[in-house]
A = this chain, B = another copy of it.
Amino acid sequence: MREVSETVSANTQKRVTSQDVAREAGVARSTVSYVLNRTPHQTIPDSTRKRVLQAAERLGYTPSSAARTLRRGRSDVVLCILRAWPFGSAAGTLLAELTASFSERGLSLVTHIEGAGMKTPDKVWQEISPAAVLTYHPVPRDTERAMRSAGVQSVVVLFSAENETAGNLIRPDGRIGRMQAEHVIAAGHQRIGYAYPEPPALQDFAGPRLQGVKTVCSEAGLLPPDVCTVPLDAQSASNAIKHWQSLPQPVTAVCAYNDEVAQALIAGARLSRVDIPGELAIIGADDIPTAALATPPLTTIRIDHISEARRIVDTVTATLAGKEPPASWDTAELFTAVIRESA
């Protein structure tokens, strides 16, 4: 009883507004606003400024983001929408880097992970009217229009074959496939396999990587890579390996979509007593923390999330300022081959 009423009264507490601060400092609301926002071309003597600042501090004033957003027509929030794909620690580090870079520009980043089995694609963007939306998957034309008319100024699609229009920033993941293939071909392998991930949500990522491998194979005059979908369990991986070894011209090196798939392959190889890298070379991608801990340690392609984040932030801020976003990626600093023992 008592606790309930306490909770209620706590909820009922009035908000401290700039009006209250103005009263406390003995000035008009507008003056408070000018002081707090350091509005240019408004001359405020230090004495007044200090009075206002102290009053705000004393009352614990927090400006209402809703009111400010309403007035200014846009917020300082950037929304990143992620599909509920099984993402690993790579996403975590990228998000942390993005947050840091955006906050240097006065923007704050929030992420929305789409729900698992949701009926309607939800519309968080209309709940928080962000200044910009970032997605890692294609956005339908009319959804984009709806976002725009809801006040979103910049919609940046990070991955998608479809949305390759101006303002969008497609990470050149084909380059990852290229580097994988180049590495194993340089090591003397002549027939290459590709381990494709199972979850459909990963399509947009896997497609370009596979394409890179294909391109290199054809440039080198080799047969195209033999593609197997490899779910994350040892038995399936073992089957894939058997398939590759039973081909007329057997596969001796496999490029895996990412390090998790690569680790599945390692587990599968152990099951069928196939030696890695002796009988089969395996190269992963992403360089997740456990890649170095595998048996044998995984050769992989590392993605530099710091420079990735920087480029994304540059694009968004340019678009918000109405400028033309900068050109494309500096691939050289984005991807690095990490050579360990598996290939």
Chain A residues with CB under 8 Å of chain B are 3-4, 7-8, 10-11, 13, 15-16, 60, 62-67, 69-70, 73, 75-77, 79, 84-89, 91-93, 95-97, 99-100, 103, 108-118, 122, 124, 126-129, 145-146, 148-151, 153, 166, 232-234, 260, 263-264, 266-267, 270, 289-290, 292-295, 297, 319, 322-324
**One of B11, B13, B79, B267 near A293 (C-beta < 8 A):** B267
**One of B77, B109, B112, B233 near A292 (C-beta < 8 A):** B233
Smallest Cβ-Cβ distance to A88: which chain B residue: B89
Q: Is the beta-carbon distance between B295 and A129 smaller than 8 angstroms?
A: no
For the complex formed, measure the closest distance between the CB of A204 and the CB atoms of chain B, giving whole angstroms: 17
Smallest Cβ-Cβ distance to A95: which chain B residue: B113
Compute how far the CA of A8 lies from the CA of B93 in the bound complex, rounded to whole angstroms: 34
Q: Which residues of B contact A67 (CB under 8 A)?
A: 66, 70
Compute how far the CA of A141 lies from the CA of B27 in the bound complex, rounded to whole angstroms: 31
Q: Is the beta-carbon distance between B103 and A149 smaller than 8 angstroms?
A: no
Number of copies: 2
Q: Which residues of B contact A232 (CB under 8 A)?
A: 289-290, 292-293
Compute how far the CA of A150 lies from the CA of B63 in the bound complex, rounded to whole angstroms: 8
For the complex formed, measure the closest distance between the CB of A99 and the CB atoms of chain B, giving whole angstroms: 4
11 further contact pairs, Cβ within 8 A, besides A65-B128, A92-B113: A13-B148, A76-B127, A84-B96, A96-B115, A99-B118, A103-B115, A103-B118, A110-B110, A110-B128, A128-B128, A232-B293
- 5 nearest A-B residue pairs (beta carbon): A100-B115, A84-B96, A66-B69, A267-B293, A99-B115
Question: Can you list 21 A-B pairs, Cβ within 8 angstroms, ordered by A?
Answer: A4-B323, A15-B150, A64-B151, A65-B126, A66-B75, A70-B70, A75-B127, A77-B128, A86-B93, A88-B92, A96-B116, A99-B115, A100-B116, A103-B115, A109-B113, A111-B111, A232-B289, A232-B293, A263-B293, A264-B290, A267-B292
Q: Which residues of B contact A153 (CB under 8 A)?
A: 11
**One of B127, B129, B149, B322 near A108 (C-beta < 8 A):** B127
Compute how far the CA of A289 lies from the CA of B264 in the bound complex, rounded to whole angstroms: 9
Q: Which residues of B contact A79 (CB under 8 A)?
A: 110
Known interface pairs A62-B126, A124-B108, A166-B3; A234-B149 also in contact (CB < 8 Å): no
Q: Which residues of B contact A118 (CB under 8 A)?
A: 99-100, 103
Q: Which residues of B contact A149 (CB under 8 A)?
A: 13, 15-16, 60, 62
